[in-house]
Amino acid sequence: MTDAILTVEQMRAAERAAMAAGTDGWELMQRAGRGAAEWVARIAAGRPVSVLCGPGNNGGDGYVIAETLRRGGLGVEVIAPLAPRTETAQIARDHYAGDVASQAMPRQAITVDCLFGYGLTRAVEGQFAELLEKIAASDCYNIAIDVPSAVESDSGAVLGPLPHYDLTLALGAWKLAHGLMPAMAAMGARRLVPIGIDIPDTGMQFASPPQLRAPSPDAHKYRRGLLAVVAGAMPGAPLLSAEAAMRSGAGYVKLLSECAHPDAPAELVIEQDNFAQAISDERIAAFLVGPGLGRDGAARDRLAAVLERGLPTMIDADALHLFDSAMLAKTDPAKLCVTPHEGELAKLCDSFGVGADCKLDRSRRLHDVTGMTVLAKGPDTILVGDGMTSFFERGSSWLSVAGTGDVLAGIAASRLALHGSPARAANEAVWLHHEAARRAGPAFTAGELAHAVAPAMGVFL
């Protein structure tokens, strides 16, 4: 799988399997280094290159890169504070025909970081930290080989000075850090360099863009899905969600609210009477509950009543603070998707007795314990459901404004009303959310983002 994501141990196991099948470590290193060198040469476009080599196999990749570039006619300088400490890296060093400096300032237009690879677990200090600080202070085009050298691969944690890289070349397979903050913020563009080994299906992947469809020729509003957006104490958030939902594919969006909404569009149906009767409508295909709901007793009652219907439901915002195991026991968790940011994820984990140290582990454990689909949103968005953990490309940083989460929930709920699959709806929503942000440009409001969803739909049709 070219989109599969591996842990450190899974990557090591894949390499061991390749070697057991007859491919030795030096051959794998040559494949990795030469494949990466093709990218470096393309970027360099004749300009000289500095290659920083560490003492391990990532440094060995660096020597292969340097020799490949040297043979291709590029000017190359290699800086290696320590000699190779692995047999394969030493072979690579012996095959490099150029000079190696132990201490130097990278002087070339392109800098290639091969100090440490995906196995780093301790802080980067001393002369290696100094080299990384020099990279960070330079105006070079920086390329990280496999993962940036100050990054722990399985967590994305930063263990030393972290420069900004313009390009990160993953060797053999994607690693967890390629999809996790804070590491992914520094990686720039990411590209995969195959090295000819079998990559297992690990249950983790980068999310694939959706393939949406126009309504069928005989479609009508109920066949496309009636979404009921459940409002509460605060009218603005559910209205934002409804505005986004109206532009995301559902055939009919209805806002169940006791508040006046003088700014609501004419095409949005608002029901203000008899909540119990409104949610019992047999034509409802899905619910969205949480944005603007409030956290009082009335809000709790509304959430419980919605969940007891047993319909596909998106749960967001305030509802995430009210949701508990007693409510879960009265509904079908396979039809639910929760969409927490990190604070809300921590609250859900507390409510359902989930203990975990990081966002990824919390998301996966919460899914395992409850059976719900979990869309843990943020700069690094993680989706757990349908037997797969999916990671997404980083969205626009302009999404860091109030109300954009309500828009995301509205998009997801609209897609859920259309087809009923929580994980599929969540995946579609993230892609549409990111594309809408791109189209909205800089400094948009949540309302402007909601209006940008309709043109974003066209990208995936």
Give 188-195 contacts, CB < 8 A, sequence gap 24+.
Answer: 188/142, 188/164, 191/39, 191/167, 192/2, 193/32, 193/35, 193/36, 193/39, 193/169, 194/2, 194/35, 195/28, 195/31, 195/32, 195/35, 195/171
Residue 24 is assigned to a ligand binding site: no
Quick: pLDDT tens for 196-238: 999 999 999 999 999 999 999 999 999 999 999 999 989 999 9
Judge whether residue 457 has pLDDT over 90: yes
Q: What pairs with residue 142 in β-bridges?
A: 111
Residue 366: pLDDT band (50, 70, 90) is very high
Residue 368 is assigned to a ligand binding site: no
CA dist 255 and 264 (Å) reads 10
CA dist 441 and 435 (Å) reads 10
Residue 377 is assigned to a ligand binding site: yes
Q: Which residues contact 96 (CB under 8 A, 6 or more apart)?
A: 63, 64, 66, 67, 70, 78
Residue 200 is assigned to a ligand binding site: no
Whether 356 and 408 share a structural domain: yes
Residue 60 is assigned to a ligand binding site: yes
Structural domain contains residue 164: yes
DSSP state letter for 420: -
Sheet hosting strand 284-289, strand order edge to edge: 204-206, 388-391, 382-385, 373-376, 336-338, 313-315, 284-289, 226-230, 252-256, 269-271
Residue 249 is assigned to a ligand binding site: no
Domain endpoint, select from 165, 200, 235: 200
Whether 96 and 233 share a structural domain: no
Q: What percent of the chain has pLDDT over 70?
A: 100
Please give the pLDDT value at position 93.
Answer: 98
Judge whether residue 1 has pLDDT over 70: no
Q: Are 89 and 25 in contact (CB under 8 A)?
A: no
Residue 264 is assigned to a ligand binding site: no
Quick: pLDDT tens for 68-98: 999 999 999 999 999 999 999 999 999 999 9
CA distances from 1 to 36, 43, 393 (A): 19, 27, 18
Residue 57 is assigned to a ligand binding site: yes
Quick: pLDDT tens for 315-326: 999 999 999 999
Residue 146 is assigned to a ligand binding site: yes
Give the largest CA-CA distance in the chain. 82
Structural domain contains residue 21: yes
Whether 165 and 278 share a structural domain: no
Structural domain contains residue 81: yes
Whether 99 and 232 share a structural domain: no
Residue 142 is assigned to a ligand binding site: no
What is the H or E stretch that residue 195 is in? none
Residue 179 is assigned to a ligand binding site: no
Whether 250 and 193 share a structural domain: no
Please give the pLDDT value at position 300.
Answer: 98
Structural domain contains residue 291: yes
Q: State both tokens at 395.
A: 């969205």
Measured from the Cβ of residue 333, the count of other Cβ atoms closer than 10 Å reads 17
Total domain count, the chain: 2
Please give the pLDDT value at position 167.
Answer: 98
Whether 256 and 109 share a structural domain: no
Residue 237 is assigned to a ligand binding site: yes
Quick: pLDDT tens for 148-207: 999 999 999 999 999 999 999 999 999 999 999 999 999 999 999 999 999 999 999 999
**DSSP secondary structure string for all residues of 346-378:** HHHHHHTT---SSHHHHHHHHHHHH--EEEE-S
Whether 393 and 270 share a structural domain: yes
Residue 356 is assigned to a ligand binding site: no
Please give the pLDDT value at position 357.
Answer: 87
Structural domain contains residue 383: yes
Whether 188 and 278 share a structural domain: no
Residue 355 is assigned to a ligand binding site: no
Residue 61 is assigned to a ligand binding site: yes
CATH assignment of the domain containing 141: 3.40.50.10260
Whether 313 and 371 share a structural domain: yes
Judge whether residue 142 has pLDDT over 80: yes
| Interval 349-368 mean pLDDT | 95
CATH assignment of the domain containing 330: 3.40.1190.20
Domain endpoint, select from 200, 217, 240: 200
Whether 444 and 325 share a structural domain: yes
Structural domain contains residue 72: yes
Residue 232 is assigned to a ligand binding site: no
Structural domain contains residue 212: no
Residue 58 is assigned to a ligand binding site: yes
Structural domain contains residue 220: no
Integer-rounded Cα Rg, in Å, for the chain is: 25
Whether 194 and 284 share a structural domain: no
Q: State both tokens at 163.
A: 């420069």
* Structure-token match 């100094």, residue found: 130
CA distances from 273 to 257, 260, 278, 283, 320 (A): 8, 12, 8, 17, 25
Whether 311 and 451 share a structural domain: yes
Residue 59 is assigned to a ligand binding site: yes
DSSP state letter for 158: B
160 lies in which domain range? 5-200
Residue 301 is assigned to a ligand binding site: no
Please give the pLDDT value at position 285.
Answer: 98
pTM of the model: 0.95
In the predicted model, what is the mean pLDDT of the chain? 96
